[in-house]
Structure 1
């Protein structure tokens, strides 16, 4: 507990010194987002509530906190917010189908021993839960990519107000290409770093490569990484188009 307090204090001091007021808001946003996740998990235990709708509401709340609370309400955060929600809705629909077809919902055989004492008949659709978990894992990356596109596009439009909508859209895509590679690699190592112990466990149990690839835990994690990459890629043209459409007047769209 003392370690957590010390690390949180160091993080708060650094974010305050470097980020100023925005750094303080960013620090507080961590706790607000954590609160949203806790509330969402609590409501997901109710079998009468649809986890997909809860996930969408949670994503809206998290996006609003990360964009409007930290960066305030302005033109760039509005376009980033709209882009984030559109991308999230598209992925939710896609993930429901994918989770069901890939059969990655529920628990893997590696987890059965730890869960053997509990009843798994809890009346919750694990297909929807699986889709919700993956989307919630990627919402931060989607929001980050959206604001990373809309913010420089706003600056480009401010300094070059004569740009047409098509030219501003092309600038947004160019910015997106620059951040795409680093964002995808960041997601890859973030997810795999968290499951490093799992790979050591696979090695100790002499899993074959085929056994690892076909493991439900490994497949679910790989699908999460791929979906995160798809979401970051998809949000780039969506944000670029919405931002260009919003900033450039209709008369100069060509």
Structure 2
């Protein structure tokens, strides 16, 4: 516990010294996000519509990370709208993938760990798998969407004579540059979290086919691929919405000056 407090204190000092007031706000947002996830897990136990609860939790996380940290502005508004649209597209896609892949439940590698627990928890593990993928995707799509919106906003401020088409194309190009690093981040997060599992597969002399068809492995790979698809989808959505909001605000400002 002392190590946890020490690391938290170091993180707070670094975030406050480098980020100033926004760094302190971001540090507090970590605990708010944890609280949202914690209560989401509790409500999943008591309520039947766990996917709806998870989507609400994702929206709350978006509100915290966008409006609490960065306040309400063109960048955060366009990001929030893009996240909502992307989640709506992803949820139908994830439903199909989960049903076809049958990744719900536990793999045979986990039998020893769960043998002492009761599996009659009254929760649909298929829905739990969907919620896991959604929750694992939300952070990546918020991150890349806000990066694109912020870059486009700065570009628009310094080049106000840009056309809608040029601004949209610039946003997509910015997204392309970020796309590779974001998907690699998802990949390395999986490798780091499941390095011991990969070593275990090696010790058990699993063939490549056994690893690919393992439920534990395939469920995580599907989560990574779903996150990558979400990241790819949100790039043109964010570019279009940001372009629309910036030019609409410009038109309204011009009309106010004329009146």
TM-score range, shorter chain: over 0.9
Name which of structure 1's ranges 73-82 and 111-120 shifts more when overlaid on structure 2: 111-120
Q: CA deviation at 1:100?
A: 1.3
Q: Deviations over 1:121-179 (max 9, x none)?
A: 22211111101101101111110011000011111111222222211110100110111
CA contact (8 A) 1:64 1:81 kept: yes
Structure 2 counterparts to residues 178-197 of structure 1, below 5 A: 178-197=177-196
- Report what 2:38 is aligned to: 38
CA RMSD of the aligned region, Å? 1.4
Range 243-252 or range 140-149, more displaced:
243-252
Residue 171 of structure 1 corresponds to 170
Q: Matched residue pairs, number?
A: 251
Aligned ranges for residues 138-177 of structure 1 at < 5 Å? 138-177=137-176
2:255 counterpart residue number: none
Q: Deviations over 1:192-229 (max 9, x none)?
A: 11000001111111111111110000000111111111
Q: Aligned partners of 2:239, 2:48: CA distance in 1, in Å? A: 35
**Deviation above 2 Å: which 4+ runs of structure 1?**
249-252
Matches within 5 A, 1:78-93: 78-93=77-92
Q: Please report how far the alpha carbon of residue 49 of structure 1 lies from its aligned counterpart in structure 2 after TM superposition.
A: 2.7
1:250 deviates by 9.9
- 1:84-133 Cα distance to aligned partner (Å, 9 max, x none): 11111211121112111101011111111211122212221111110110
Aligned partner of residue 39 in structure 2, secondary structure: helix
* Unaligned segments of structure 1, at least 5 residues: none
